[in-house]
Amino acid sequence: MFETSVIHAEVVAEKRFGLLSVSFAGHILIVISILALGIRTIEFPRLPPPEYAIPIFTPPVSIPPALGTPDGGHKQAAPPVPIKQTPTVPTANLAPNTIPDHTEPAASTSTGDTTTTGGPAGSDQNVGVPWGDPHGIGDGPPAANVVPVPPDLPIRITGDVKAPVVIRRVTPLYPRPAVAIHLNGFAIVECIIDKTGHVRDAQVLRSSSPLFNQSAVDAVLQWQFAPGSLHGTAVDTIFDLTVTFQVTQ
């Protein structure tokens, strides 16, 4: 029985070896056929690829200027220009043959503020006044201490403008509500003082309480001033007046 099993194993082994050989040969045939078909389907180019030439542009070669000065720095002298000679014309002799016994001086002429006299070398020289115009004729010296005309509009107290001076002052009426609560305060009134010294166009700029506004304006309109002036002339001025209110104990 042991021998029978051994023989059966050998037969099986031989069958397996034969199948392996057949399988291996089949695979080789398949691979060879695939390669043959692939080589057969490949088409090689019949014509060579076209050739392209890339142009190369080279910049022009510029020769640098020579260093140093040409000809050793020597410049050729320009040829002399011929001078044209004009023929000389003999001048007539205007000198008198005889010397007169008496000579009369030339009369000087004057026009406006300038005087024409004989200058050196027989030339005329205009002599004018110090304030004259060298290119024209003036009417006389400029007016000195010209006083500018004061403007008609009211101006503020600045520069040469003199402030007005109070002549008569009117005490404002103390508002009853402010007296009842013993309220002290002030009111700044801007007004125009005309050339006669009267007050007009009074308005309150700022106050500590609105209770004092109307009373302050009513009192300022009754004040009398010596008017302000500009260069000695009375002008309308803009003036700020401060009216104070204080309860007396």
**Domains of the chain in sequence order:** 155-245 (3.30.2420.10)
Cα–Cα distance between 104 and 94 in angstroms, integer?
Answer: 19
Name the percent of the chain lying above pLDDT 90. 29
User: 228 near 161, Cβ under 8 Å?
Assistant: yes
pLDDT band, very low/low/confident/very high, at 21 (cuts 50, 70, 90): confident
Cα–Cα distance between 199 and 217 in angstroms, integer?
Answer: 10
Taking only the tens place, the pLDDT of each residue in 202-212 is 999 999 999 99
pLDDT band, very low/low/confident/very high, at 64 (cuts 50, 70, 90): confident
Strand partners, 114: 111
CB proximity list for 205: less than 8 A, separation 6 or greater = 188, 189, 190, 240
Taking only the tens place, the pLDDT of each residue in 178-225 is 988 989 999 999 999 999 999 988 999 999 999 999 999 999 999 999
Name which of 187, 207, 191, 188 is nearest 199 in CA terms.
Answer: 191
Residue 152: per-residue pLDDT: 74
Residue 194: per-residue pLDDT: 93
Taking only the tens place, the pLDDT of each residue in 148-161 is 656 678 899 888 99
pLDDT band, very low/low/confident/very high, at 19 (cuts 50, 70, 90): confident
pLDDT band, very low/low/confident/very high, at 38 (cuts 50, 70, 90): confident
Name the helix (H) or strand (E) containing 148. none
pLDDT at 44 over 60: yes
pLDDT band, very low/low/confident/very high, at 133 (cuts 50, 70, 90): low
Residue 121: per-residue pLDDT: 44
Section 161-169 average pLDDT: 92
Taking only the tens place, the pLDDT of each residue in 66-114 is 666 655 555 666 667 767 666 665 555 555 555 556 556 555 444 444 4
